Amino acid sequence: MPAPLDHDFGGRVDQVVDRAVEAERIVGAVILVARRGEILYSRAAGLADRESKKPMTADAIFRLASVTKPVVATAALALVEAGVIGLDDPTAKFIPEFRPRLADGSEPVITLRQLLTHTAGLSYGFREAADGPYHRAGVSDGLDQPGLSMAENLSRIASVPLSYVPGTGWGYSVAMDVLGEAMARATGATLPELVDRLVVQPLGMEEAAFVVRDRSRLVTPYADGPDKAIAMGEQHRVPFGDGAISFSPGRVFDPASFASGGTGMNGTAGDVLKLLEALRSGGGSVIRPETAAAMTTDAIAGLETTMPGWGWGLGFGVLRRPACRVDAPGRRHLALGWCLRSFLVRGPDTGPDGGGADQHGHIRHDGRLPRCAARRRLWQANLRRGSAEPTAGHDRRRRQLMLLDLF
């Protein structure tokens, strides 16, 4: 059994968060820490809007950015379990017009598995210099360009040569946006409908959606500044490596904006924790335990990611080399949202672990808050494969009947 949390744990978390808020490195945060389904720490700190002095609340809604990816990945694997799509299906089976080519003009096959694992040869604009090919083509990373349609963005993506032969390399990318469109084409439903019926509703993630139902609870977005967090304008660029991440906070309010399977959702810390707890316990009512395990198992053996020591599963980054660990031994780390550095931690199968959701700040094991251009909306959680037998919630017929309602 893992050692219990010490009595001063909450106090140490408070100190880290208080220092970050007082120094104006973050404006506010919602932090949840849970273990084996029990919430051990819960706090809303700082402000939801600095300019109006509006306090942060536990039910505040955040733009989830890359934490959209595991939600969509879970929905995709539910469709795989139901036989609606297959991991080795070619993407062109569902999106026949999406046929990006290599630099030599050849047209390789891109599978859904390669989209899930970011091995399709695609990229993100923020990973390129300002004059990179995605910028020249006007590709949206899913966080900007309000009103841009999926059809237009797919056309722009396909116009750029692939970075490598699919399956031979790895690159964090717009692949989840492409996957989301393939899911929609395969079922005849929209991606928001699929995610809502397959993941959000079964898990009770009440505010998780591609729209914001209660704008009064949506936090004001801030970005790193030279000395303190600064409010974003209608268009904001956050430096990231040699490039920048482009944000248009108002995108979420434009119904014409395409539903980004990589960055498009909104939700609360509690919503995120419900997903983590479902996966920790073996998939909850949405996917089977063996599928949840596959999500968190390295699926790209032999390929290197841009972070040393990390691989990638069917939806998560997976730490391969213990030397790269940043906290306690005996844990297996899983990155939930790569560009925004969101993490899960899966414990060994021999003992249960806990979890947590932290929005706006990432508390490191050494008690320091990292300063980086993309530190917002960070989540930590312990994730393990549940040992219990599947319950009625895992019943295949129940999921298939739910899927049939979509067609």
Catalytic residues: 66
Q: What are phi and psi of 377, to 5 degrees?
A: 50, 70
H or E stretch at 54: strand 54-55
Measured distance CA(17)–CA(30) in Å, rounded: 10
- The secondary structure of 313-380, three-state, reads CCCCEEECCHHHCCCCCCCEEEEEECCCCEEEEECCCCCCCEEEEEECCCCCCCCCCCCCCCCCCCCC
Beta strand segments in 138-257, E: 222-223, 230-231, 236-240, 243-247
Report yes or no: 380 and 358 within 8 Å, Cβ to Cβ: yes
Closest CA to 48 of 205, 222, 207: 222
Closest CA to 142 of 25, 320, 261: 261
Per the DSSP assignment, residues forming a β-bridge with 357 are: 32
- Tokens in use for 177? 């946006």
H or E stretch at 275: helix 269-280
Question: Which residues are CB-contacts of 140 (< 8 A; sequence separation ≥ 6)?
Answer: 125, 148, 153, 156, 258, 260
Report yes or no: 269 and 41 within 8 Å, Cβ to Cβ: no
∠ Cα 106 111 113 (to 5°): 140
Q: How does 339-365 read in b/e, with b if 16+ C-beta sit within 10 Å?
A: bbbbbbbbbeeeebbbbbbbbbbbbee
Strand pairing of 54-55 and 38-49?
Answer: antiparallel
Other C-beta atoms within 10 Å of 325: how many?
16
Half-sphere exposure for 64 (CA within 13 Å, toward CB):
32
Map tokens 């959209």 to a residue.
68
